[in-house]
Amino acid sequence: MKKILNYINGELIEPQGQKYIDNYEPATGEVYSLIPDSDHKDVELAVKAAKEAFSSWSQTNKEVRSSYLRKIAEKIKDRQEEFATAESRDNGKPLSLASKVDIPRASHNFSFYSSAIIHFASESHQMELGAINYTLRQPIGIAGCISPWNLPLYLFSWKIAPALAAGNCVVAKPSEITPYTAYLLSEVCVDIGLPKGVLNIVHGYGHKVGSAITEHPEIPIISFTGGTQTGQTIAKVAAPMFKKLSLELGGKNPAIIFEDCDYDKMLETTLRSSFANQGQICLCGSRILVQESIYERFKNDFVAAVKQLNPGDPKAKTTKQGALVSEAHMQKVLAYVKLAKEEGGQVLCGGHQVDLSADGLNGWFVQPTVIEGLDQNCRTNQEEIFGPVVTISPFKDEGEAIAKANSTKYGLAATVWTENLSRSQRMAEQIHAGIVWVNCWLLRDLRTPFGGVKQSGVGREGGFEVLQFFTEPKNVCIKYDK
Ligand code: NAD
């Protein structure tokens, strides 16, 4: 069986303890490769390598750093189908989604930072009394980068690329549930001759490898994307050590639909924003709020369309719904459907596991699910389900829509559908979220701030500010005689 390896000090190596974790393919439910079950000893090796590489990498001309990142971007592009196939197999997501969205965007993250570091400028402030302040932005040291399973390479690269561009060395941990594209990335780094120790990828569990990274005294900066609870654990460890911290966490995003929307466009996009990647995108809308005058029409049309979204083989070109990422996650999602019924919700469609064993697929498929009749304060509408389950509820006017939209502890993203420009502005101002999409979803310009408010995270940054995050600013004040 194929063994995934750690990438430490420029080499692909086995974990020190020689232990492995089974890597399941969500569509078939079968183990298809082995993941290093690394621990603090492997992290220690990675830190040692990164420390040794730092003095040279941090002094390397930024054009040279840029060229390494560009080469990585190009290699990912060259091997796009291989990366996409690996991601689809690891994650259960449709191959078409991985090859059209995830992998090209991951490659783009590297090319964006390859270019950004060249154009990166620091600030300067002149004082009238005769002094100039300028900001030196220097690399910090070793960056710890920890990422989740839902967009494995895309989110991994969103951390690694800016950290490396800024001149840091990196110890990174992908999710143990979807490790394969990070392994392919380490092959690419070997292939292009990235200097040894600059990037180290240690595979394994969060409570072993993730916590060893977070706790390590020689890793002063942590960039984490994942669940809110894990973020809290990491913050508790990192705060007393005064580590620089970026946390991108969970969400419970509202999609708000007004009667004056472009109905067809809204319906098509709301299907996607609810169920893309089986609802396992942190930015998916999971609470659909519909103005009461069009509620019944929307409900009928939406449910009819959702019923057509049948899960199938992620490898097939026509498949729009793949498998959920793991059996445990599927059970969690189904438990929420049960809870929704107990809370008084009516399941309008879906709500059950789909049996595709006749096609040789014994994995974790769930029929896309729509539930109505729930109060916004119930657990189903307050807790992140992170699967193909949405609730729909009516609202009367803007005030009620805003109150409902803002009623959770999360504040990651929101979508507003209206053709009324003034209304869209009022809504955007009052919704408490890191991003508000108006008449669209998932459009992403890397220069804009990204991330959540409230319990959806801290450290919301645009692409250039992420570069700044990975630097240590130092003010130099020079007095001159007038
Ligand atoms: P998770 O928090 O379980 O795991 C994320 C990563 O943290 C994994 O690599 C895991 O191994 C590691 N980890 C677990 N325990 C750790 C610990 N004690 N110390 C250090 N690392 C540890 O999240 P997940 O289930 O992989 O991902 C789903 C979650 O991620 C959802 O809540 C989703 O909303 C969130 N997410 C947020 C964004 C965003 O941009 N805000 C993007 C994608 C996913």
pTM of the model: 0.97
Q: Tell me, using a 6 A CB cutoff, whether residue 210 lines ligand 1.
A: yes
Using one digit for the tens of pLDDT, what is the confidence trace for 89-121?
Answer: 999 999 999 999 999 999 999 999 999 999 999
* C-alpha of residue 104 to centroid of ligand 1, in Å: 22
Specify the length of the chain in residues: 482
Residues 6 and 139 occupy one common structural domain: yes
Q: What is the pLDDT of residues 306-340, one digit of tens each?
A: 999 999 999 998 999 999 999 999 999 999 999 99
Residue 459 pLDDT level (bands cut at 50, 70, 90): confident
Query: Which 3 state secondary structure label does DSSP give 397?
Result: coil
Which domain range does residue 320 map to? 253-445
> Using 50, 70 and 90 to split pLDDT, how confident is the model at 186?
very high
For residues 241 and 262, state if they share a domain. no
Residue whose C-alpha is closest to residue 371's, from 279, 469, 472? 279
Residue having the nearest C-alpha atom to atom 16 of ligand 1 = 206
- The token duo for 361 is 């697929």
203 lines ligand 1 (CB under 6 A): no
Confidence of residue 461 (pLDDT cuts 50, 70, 90): confident
- For residue 223, the CA-to-ligand 1 centroid distance in Å is 11
Shared-domain flag, residues 48 and 66: yes
Q: Which of 145, 150, 236 to mutate to test the pocket of ligand 1 (most atoms within 8 A of CB)?
A: 150
Ligand 1 atom index nearest CA of 412 = 41
E strands, 209-278, in order: 221-225, 244-248, 253-257
| Ranges of H-type helices in 318-377 | 327-342
**Per-residue model confidence as pLDDT tens digits over 133-172:** 999 999 999 999 999 999 999 999 999 999 999 999 999 9
Closest CA to 378 of 405, 407, 352, 401: 407
307 and 382 in a common domain: yes
- Residue 482 maps to a domain: no
State whether residue 45 is helix, strand or coil: helix
Q: Do 333 and 278 share a domain, yes or no?
A: yes
Separation of CA 206 and ligand 1 centre (Å): 9
Average pLDDT over residues 256-283: 98
Same domain assignment for residues 200 and 259: no
Q: What is the pLDDT of residues 47-92, one digit of tens each?
A: 999 999 999 999 999 999 999 999 999 999 999 999 999 999 999 9
Per-residue buried b or exposed e for 349-381, using 16+ beta carbons within 10 Å of the residue's own CB:
bbbebbebeeeebebbbbbbbbbbebebebebb
Ligand 1 mean position, distance from CA 214 (Å):
13
What is the pLDDT, as a whole number, of residue 41? Answer: 98
Kindly report the average pLDDT of the chain as a whole number. Answer: 97
Q: Is 233 in the pocket of ligand 1 (CB under 6 A)?
A: yes
Specify if 120 maps to a domain: yes
Q: Which residues are catalytic?
A: 248, 282
The atom of ligand 1 lying closest to the CA of 177 is 26
> Total domain count for the chain?
2
Dist. CA 84 → ligand 1 center (Å): 21
Query: How much is the pLDDT for 228?
Result: 97
Q: Which atom of ligand 1 is nearest to the CA of 149?
A: 26
Rounded to whole angstroms, how far apart are CA atoms 415 and 373? 21
User: Would the CB of 313 count as within 6 Å of ligand 1?
Assistant: no
Q: 175: Cβ below 6 Å to ligand 1?
A: yes
150 lines ligand 1 (CB under 6 A): yes
Per-residue pLDDT, averaged over 222-239, amounts to 98
In a domain, 79, yes or no: yes
Pairing of strands 353-356, 361-366: antiparallel
- Select from 326, 277, 321, 386 the least CA-distant residue to 23: 326
**Which structure tokens are listed for 20?**
């492995």
Q: Does the residue 122 lie in any domain?
A: yes
Q: Residue 460: pLDDT above 90?
A: no
Q: Are residues 8 and 46 in the same domain?
A: yes
At 319, which CATH number? 3.40.309.10
Inter-residue contact 208 to 39 (CB < 8 Å):
yes
Residues 306 and 231 in one domain: no
Q: Given the structure tokens 């800016």, which residue do they identify? A: 162
| Calpha distance 75→292 (Å, rounded) | 51
Same domain, 217 and 263: no
Question: Can you give the pLDDT at residue 436?
Answer: 98
The answer to whether position 109 is within a domain reads yes
Burial class from Cβ neighbours inside 10 Å (0-12, 13-18, 19+) for residue 223 reads: buried
What is residue 83's three-state secondary structure? Answer: helix
Query: Domain for residue 216, yes or no?
Result: yes
Query: What percentage of the chain reaches a pLDDT higher than 90?
Result: 97
Cα distances (Å, whole numbers) of residue 106 to 102, 118, 137, 209, 279: 6, 19, 26, 23, 20
* Contact by Cβ (8 Å): 126, 474: no
Q: Give yes or no for residue 17 having a pLDDT over 90.
A: yes
> Angle at which helices 152-165 and 180-192 pack, to 10 degrees?
40
Q: Each residue of 190-199: b (16+ CB within 10 Å) or e?
A: eeeebbbbbb
Distance 86 CA to ligand 1 centre (A): 20
Q: Same domain, yes or no, for 156 and 240?
A: yes
Distances, alpha carbon 97 to alpha carbons 74, 272, 277, 308, in Å = 20, 11, 8, 18
Please give the DSSP secondary-structure letter assigned to residue 419: S
| Residue in this structure with the two tokens 């796009």, named with its chain if needed | 80
Q: Do 150 and 258 belong together in one domain?
A: no
Counting atoms of ligand 1 from 1, which one is nearest the CA of 250? 34
CATH of the domain at 231: 3.40.605.10
450 within a domain of the structure (yes/no): no
Could you tell me if 221 and 337 lie in one domain?
Answer: no
Task: Specify which residues 457 forms β-bridges with.
Answer: 248
Nearest CA to ligand 1 atom 26: 148
In order, the DSSP letters of 251-270 are --EEEEE-TTS-HHHHHHHH
What number does the ligand 1 atom closest to the CA of 329 have?
25
